[in-house]
Chain A
Amino acid sequence: MSAAAATSVALPDDTLLTVEHLTMRFGGLVAVEEVTFEAKRRQITGVIGPNGAGKTTLFNCITGFYKPTTGRLSLHRDDGPPLLLEQMDGYLIGQKARVARTFQNIRLFPGMSALENLMVAQHNKLMRASGFTFLGLIGMPGYRRAEAEAKEKAVRWLERLGMVNLADDPAGSLPYGAQRRLEIARAMCTDPVLLCLDEPAAGLNPRESAELNHLLLEIRDQIGIGILLIEHDMSVVMGISDHIVVLDYGRKIADGTPTEIQRDPAVIRAYLGEEEKDDR
């Protein structure tokens, strides 16, 4: 395994997520093996690798959809000790740890409108405001205010993504690019500290893809959260990532800044190897 240590020395309090010796086995198949890396606040950490490298599986472990076979996932907080994600129930990772994600094959609520999708994302906040439904049912003003705020926030995101005019349309009938954007907006509406995006540029045309990169940079710089970005295509991720982790056959083969990764012989080999496979 080629050791590729991160050169940029970050302040310890900047570390958001540490993944240590993460292994995920499905029967005899080892989808992720002994992966160790860090993701930092206010940084875009790219995770790249050929198809089947284990990127999505890694995400599923981080977001609680799979229980890792071994390894430790810690999410660092300003207040209090780090949360151990591998021990948390799936939905709590979204609720307590505030790790949000999107899916490789879009998972919106297709029958609900775009606006409703963003309202559902603010569920936990609104549940508290509605006094776990009881106060909301009798129409307390506190809840109404909270709902109006949530709606405003949703609308702000729709405006930012240029899709206010689609707010009342069912999410399932939106154009593909709009669905991808809406899914990101939905994840952002949960007020995450870490945003995990699984191939968000897949199926987008070059213009949409450029817009997406712009959006991600904006989220990083203005909101200041950490982003974990899976990309299958290396060129997309090179431009915007601060740091890149490369997986191949479940193992980390490189870890460093985009320039380092581009020169890494192991990465070149892995990708050339894939190119050959594609040419078949």
Chain B
Amino acid sequence: MTDAVMRTALPAKKPNIYVEAFKEASVTAVLVFLLSVYMVGLQTQASQGQPLSFTTRFADVFWACILVPCGRYLIALDRQGLHLPALIGGIVSFVYLFGVGTFGLAGSLAYDTFPHPFDEPMVNIIFGLGGIYIFGAAYHGTRTRRHGGLTIDQREAKEQRSASWARRMSGILGPMLVGVAVVIPVFMPFSPWSGATRQVVETLVLILTYVMLGWGLNIVVGLAGLLDLGYVAFYAVGAYTYAKLSTELGLNFWECLPLAGILAASFGVMLGFPVLRLRGDYLAIVTLGFGEMIRIVLINWQDFTGGPNGIGSIPKIDFFGLPFERKAPPGEDTFASFFGLDFSTSHRVFFLYYVILVLALITNFVTIRLRRLPIGRAWEALREDETACRALGINPTNTKLTAFAIGAMFAGFAGSFFASRQGFVSPESFVFIESAQILAIVVLGGMGSQVGVALAAILLIGLPEVMRELSLYRMLFYGMCMVLIMLLRPRGLLAHREPTIQLKKRGYSR
């Protein structure tokens, strides 16, 4: 009734914001219910010898249908200029849910003493992160309201501040990351996690593979500005090159490595030549198609590639001729016997780690150098304005092709490494999602930023590995991380661009 009175008294007033927000929240509740009732509410269980059954998780659905609309309500109020409820609600729910979830993850008994909406600790944490998002949005809202909208100058200044922050961070983080990467395997056995040394190093090998792929793709996407959605095709070429050459011709890893790079680069040129005159979206679609084509050829060319079964029993990497085996054929040395060590399966893992570290650092080093050469400048110029490049007498096709080929070459190296680590390759490892993941690393890292790409790889590859036990929820978390990065740093974690040549040395303090 009061509502009606208000309306008659103030006919011009906008509809009550609480009511509006409530409406929005109700719609959200319905959506959440519809989405979650099957996907979360019912979980199928397949156990041996028994028919497929399912368990219900309606409690989780219930809490999702409560919490998400609450968040929506706060955000809706925030949008209308009422920031305080969102600030408080966001931070409180974050602290509580995140805290409880962390107890749960740590296996602490305190987890059960606090009431918590979801059984799975991680889900509580994820909802807690939702709380911090609400808080962040509201905080941002209060700031912009206080200062009004940003003028162009202010926005530019803000971008500059953000870039110089990124520059400083890269300056500090870059050498630090390299230093840590070099010593980690040595220090692992003395750390509290010494029991997990092997798993940790194996995860690091995986991360470094993606760091290398990210840096390779960065040449194509970040520097030359060519959106390549089929990058994994070159990774596949490298992997299959090693697989074929080692199983059929008996070449070892070090002989295959350059060949894999060359072959992948030639594939880059072959695929690039017809498509590189396309721009933007068209290029993206065609490269996507080519990526899939390579995979489908791998599946269907049974005689040569082994079809869907792939190629198995690929010789593993050796230490410049010394195999990492328990027993060597008579008259020959193994790595362990040659150095007088006890045999350990970790030796190979450690060696793989340093191989991929060196390969990745070479990629990085070459990229940094290329950027300062005329070809690198031409890549960036091409990204900025192809028409102007043409007017300056730069051959756009050749310039793009070199970017494509060099990017492909590094993917080929990485692929060859991958095959020698796995000992097995099949088309399944080279699906589109891999390309998308590498691209996500480049974009989230900050296009063109080497340290940013490394950080993004650590985040996007490392986190899901760390949270393996959480099975499906980790994908949710993964998506959330991506959304958060895009919201907080839309140009990527460490987006900045260093000039390739300078008149005055920039004197910034570290």
Residues of A within 8 A of B (CB): 63-65, 90-96, 98, 100-101, 103, 107-113, 115-116, 119-124, 126-127, 130, 133, 136-137, 147, 151, 155, 164, 167-168, 173, 186-187, 190
Do B504 and A111 have beta carbons less than 8 Å apart? no
Distance between Cα atoms of A168 and B507 in the complex (Å) = 13
Do B385 and A130 have beta carbons less than 8 Å apart? no
Do B394 and A168 have beta carbons less than 8 Å apart? no
Do B388 and A127 have beta carbons less than 8 Å apart? no
Do B381 and A92 have beta carbons less than 8 Å apart? no
Residues of A within 8 Å of B366, CB to CB, are 137
Listed residue (A96, A127, A167) with the most chain B CB atoms within 10 angstroms of its CB: A127
State which of B283-291, B408-416, B427-435, B494-502 sits at the interface with chain A: B494-502
Do B388 and A168 have beta carbons less than 8 Å apart? no
Considering the complex, give the chain A residue whose CB is closest to the CB of B397.
A91
Name the interface size band of chain B: 20 to 34
Contact of A130 among B373, B381, B384, B497 (CB under 8 A): B373
Query: Chain B's nearest CB lies how many Å from the CB of A139?
Result: 8
Contact of A168 among B369, B373, B387, B499 (CB under 8 A): B499
Query: Chain A's nearest CB lies how many Å from the CB of B121?
Result: 45
Listed residue (A91, A155, A167) with the most chain B CB atoms within 10 angstroms of its CB: A91
**B390 near A: Cβ within 8 Å?**
yes
Listed residue (B369, B389, B503) with the most chain A CB atoms within 10 angstroms of its CB: B503
Residues of A within 8 Å of B501, CB to CB, are 113, 115-116, 119, 147, 151
Considering the complex, give the chain A residue whose CB is closest to the CB of B378.
A123
Query: Chain A's nearest CB lies how many Å from the CB of B65?
Result: 47
From 17 to 37 in chain B, residues with beta carbon under 8 angstroms from any chain A beta carbon are none
Do B395 and A91 have beta carbons less than 8 Å apart? yes
Contact of B394 among A64, A113, A124, A147 (CB under 8 A): A124
Distance between Cα atoms of A139 and B194 in the complex (Å) = 43
From 140 to 195 in chain B, residues with beta carbon under 8 angstroms from any chain A beta carbon are 156
Do A109 and B385 have beta carbons less than 8 Å apart? yes
Listed residue (B156, B384, B385, B393) with the most chain A CB atoms within 10 angstroms of its CB: B393
**B392 near A: Cβ within 8 Å?**
yes
Do B374 and A95 have beta carbons less than 8 Å apart? no
Considering the complex, give the chain A residue whose CB is closest to the CB of B375.
A133
**A to B CB contacts below 8 Å, 13 in the list:** A65-B390, A91-B390, A91-B396, A94-B391, A100-B391, A107-B385, A119-B501, A126-B374, A136-B373, A136-B374, A137-B366, A168-B503, A168-B506
Contact of A112 among B370, B381, B393, B504 (CB under 8 A): B381
**B318 near A: Cβ within 8 Å?**
no
Given A92-B393, A94-B392, A168-B499: A111 and B384 interface contact (C-beta under 8 Å): yes
Distance between Cα atoms of A92 and B391 in the complex (Å) = 9
Distance between Cα atoms of A3 and B488 in the complex (Å) = 66
Distance between Cα atoms of A103 and B390 in the complex (Å) = 12
Given A112-B499, A155-B503: A121 and B392 interface contact (C-beta under 8 Å): yes
Listed residue (B394, B500, B501) with the most chain A CB atoms within 10 angstroms of its CB: B501
Considering the complex, give the chain B residue whose CB is closest to the CB of A133.
B375
Query: Chain B's nearest CB lies how many Å from the CB of A217?
Result: 23
Distance between Cα atoms of A191 and B373 in the complex (Å) = 20
Do B380 and A101 have beta carbons less than 8 Å apart? no
Do A109 and B503 have beta carbons less than 8 Å apart? no
Contact of A113 among B156, B378, B499 (CB under 8 A): B499
Distance between Cα atoms of A127 and B398 in the complex (Å) = 12
Distance between Cα atoms of A108 and B388 in the complex (Å) = 7
Query: Chain A's nearest CB lies how many Å from the CB of B155?
Result: 12
- Nearest 4 A/B pairs, CB to CB: A94-B393, A95-B393, A109-B384, A126-B374
Distance between Cα atoms of A122 and B396 in the complex (Å) = 15
Residues of B within 8 Å of A95, CB to CB, are 393-395
Contact of B391 among A63, A116, A167 (CB under 8 A): A63
Do B392 and A111 have beta carbons less than 8 Å apart? no
Do A123 and B503 have beta carbons less than 8 Å apart? no
Contact of B393 among A124, A133, A164, A167 (CB under 8 A): A124
**B377 near A: Cβ within 8 Å?**
yes
Contact of A109 among B381, B390, B395, B504 (CB under 8 A): B381
Do B391 and A112 have beta carbons less than 8 Å apart? no
Do A101 and B370 have beta carbons less than 8 Å apart? no
Distance between Cα atoms of A137 and B370 in the complex (Å) = 7
Residues of B within 8 Å of A63, CB to CB, are 391
Query: Chain B's nearest CB lies how many Å from the CB of A259?
Result: 33
From 216 to 271 in chain B, residues with beta carbon under 8 angstroms from any chain A beta carbon are none
Do A109 and B393 have beta carbons less than 8 Å apart? no
Distance between Cα atoms of A168 and B381 in the complex (Å) = 16
**B334 near A: Cβ within 8 Å?**
no
Do B374 and A123 have beta carbons less than 8 Å apart? yes
Do A112 and B503 have beta carbons less than 8 Å apart? no
Residues of B within 8 Å of A137, CB to CB, are 366, 369-370, 373
Distance between Cα atoms of A109 and B499 in the complex (Å) = 12
Extra A-B contacts (4), CB below 8 Å, given A109-B380, A133-B373 = A94-B392, A94-B394, A119-B377, A124-B393
